[in-house]
């Protein structure tokens, strides 16, 4: 099974959209649990890492792509 790579600050797409209608989430905390924030309504949710990895569909934009390289 391929392990998806994600890091702090990534914008990810989950299998199910958020109730507000947006399916983009930003990773704002990582550890045993992962806190993700909805990019639409700014609501944040803390979920166990195993559940996050199971429900992660894909990484849309990585944090490395978002920073300017001077």
- State pTM to two decimals: 0.80
Terminal CA-to-CA distance of the chain, rounded, Å? 37
Kindly indicate the confidence band of residue 70, based on its pLDDT and cuts at 50, 70 and 90.
Answer: very low
6-55 confidence digits (pLDDT tens): 899 999 999 988 888 888 999 999 999 999 999 999 999 999 999 999 99
Which secondary structure element, helix H or strand E, spans residue 52, and what is its range? helix 49-55
**Rama region for 21: left / alpha / beta (φ>0; ψ in -120 to 50; rest):** left
Distance CA 46, CA 30 (A): 10
Quote the pLDDT of residue 4: 64
Q: Rounded to an integer, what distance in angstroms lies between the CA atom of residue 1 and that of residue 39? A: 29
């Amino acid at each position: 099974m391929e392990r998806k790579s994600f890091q702090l600050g990534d914008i990810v797409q989950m299998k199910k959209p958020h109730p507000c209608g947006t399916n983009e989430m930003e990773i704002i905390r990582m550890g045993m649990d992962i806190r993700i924030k909805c990019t639409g309504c700014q609501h944040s949710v803390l979920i166990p890492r195993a559940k996050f990895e199971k429900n992660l569909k894909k990484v849309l934009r990585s944090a490395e792509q978002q920073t300017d390289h001077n």
